[in-house]
Structure formats: structure tokens, C-alpha cells
Chains A and B, each alone.
Chain A
Amino acid sequence: NAGVTQTPKFRVLKTGQSMTLLCAQDMNHEYMYWYRQDPGMGLRLIHYSVGEGTTAKGEVPDGYNVSRLKKQNFLLGLESAAPSQTSVYFCASSTRSDNYEQYFGPGTRLTVT
């Protein structure tokens, strides 16, 4: 099992550009999450999904959109990147909502100039 994988690992964007981050998991987990981590801070939840075709907002959803067309994939989109979105983005998955044993991917380091 690869667990949770994220693509790309690094990316530099100019302000106003768009991009999509891909998260994939091969553990047949129902729940998937996107977090961001700014320097020296803990993780903050952006959006999450409780199953294929469903998404919900987390603590800091503004400026991001997500889609879960397939159970194993969770996409995070930035339509018009801003310098404030410079961060490390982590994806995670878990089996169900009352089990917070989340499995995290290695992260995507995004810089917006």
C-alpha cells in the first residue's frame, strides 16, 4: 500500500494563477481532508469529504474549492492564487467520522509570489 500520496511535492505560482493539488489514497477510506500549515503553526482544516460526491467546509475554506469525484481521490483547487496561500498543504484520510486516526500524506509545498 502506498497510503496517502500527494501531487505535486513542490510548486511555485504567480499571483492570480490557478492550480489543482491531487490527493490519492489506496486504503478505501471514506473520509478525506485537506489541511494547510503555515510556518511555526499547527494544521488548519480547509475542506473535507465524508464520501464520494460530498464535500464540506472546514476552518479556513475561503479561496479554495474541492472535488471528490472518485472515492480514492480528493482534489484541492486554487482558482486565483494569492501570496497568503503560500503554505504547506497536507491531505489525510480516515475510515469514519468517529475515528480520528487520520493518515497523512507527505505534503505539497506551495509558494505564491
Chain B
Amino acid sequence: DAKTTQPPSMDCAEGRAANLPCNHSTISGNEYVYWYRQIHSQGPQYIIHGLKNNETNEMASLIITEDRKSSTLILPHATLRDTAVYYCIVIPRNNNDMRFGAGTRLTVKP
């Protein structure tokens, strides 16, 4: 499986865009990029996923580089409630073993 590398922590000012990077340089052609977040001690929450095209939903945007070796999750207008640990996960289609790494702890500051 492809490994992901994320910075351990980041800060963002409230109201600004939060850009969370993820490196997955060994990703294979059939592997998707998924993003989850975990607020405090709650269960993780799905955010967004993509294969090679950029994706956007009501929560965030996902930008995947053309070579697919890295991606960026963008929260366009971060709020205090977006403070959480964000996990970038790379997983092949039809593989049930989703591996969560240590993630990036995002702190949104007023």
C-alpha cells in the first residue's frame, strides 16, 4: 500500500482558507485519496475523496497533482469548529483495510 506523509500540526486563522498537504509519492494507479477528520475524541468523519480529478463538496475541495504524488485538502473558510486531526488515506479499490496514520492536527485560531 502507498504511504502518506502529512505535517504533524498546522495553524490557521479563523475565516481564512486552511490548506492541508499530503504526500503520497508511491501511489498506484488504482488507489484513491480519501480525507477524514476527527474532532476531539469523536469518531472520524468522512470529508472527501478523489482519484485523479479535483473534487469539491460542501465541506472542502481536494486538489490532486497531475502526477498524483501529492494532494491538498482545502477548507475554504475555516471556523473554530474545524479544529481537528485530519487524515489523508490512500487505498486501492475493493480493499477494506483503510489505514489511518497520525494525521495533521489543525488548530483554527480566532
Cβ-based interface call for B44 (8 A): yes
Q: What chain A residues lie within 8 Å of B34 (beta carbons)?
A: 100
| A97-B96, A101-B49 known; A41+B102 contact, CB < 8 A | yes
Q: Which residues of A contact B (CB under 8 A)?
A: 4, 31, 33, 35, 40-45, 48, 50, 56, 58-59, 88, 90, 92, 97-98, 100-107
| A31-B96, A45-B98 known; A101+B46 contact, CB < 8 A | yes
The 6 closest A-B pairs by CB, nearest first: A104-B43, A42-B100, A43-B100, A101-B46, A98-B93, A42-B101
* Bound-state Cα–Cα, A101 to B46, Å: 6
15 further A-B contacts with Cβ under 8 Å, apart from A48-B96, A100-B91, A107-B43, are A4-B43, A42-B87, A44-B100, A45-B96, A45-B98, A48-B97, A50-B96, A59-B97, A92-B43, A98-B93, A100-B32, A102-B98, A103-B46, A104-B43, A104-B44
* Bound-state Cα–Cα, A43 to B100, Å: 5
Q: Mark B20-45, 1 if CB is under 8 A from A, else 0.
A: 00000000000010100000011111
* Bound-state Cα–Cα, A98 to B49, Å: 12
Interface residues on B, range: 20 to 34
Cβ-based interface call for B99 (8 A): yes
Q: What chain A residues lie within 8 Å of B89 (beta carbons)?
A: 100
Contact B43 A100 (CB under 8 A): no
Which of B43, B95, B96, B103 contacts A42 (CB under 8 A)?
A: B103
Contact B44 A100 (CB under 8 A): no
Q: Nearest Cβ distance between residue B55 and chain A, in whole angstroms?
A: 13
Q: Nearest Cβ distance between residue A82 and chain B, in whole angstroms?
A: 23
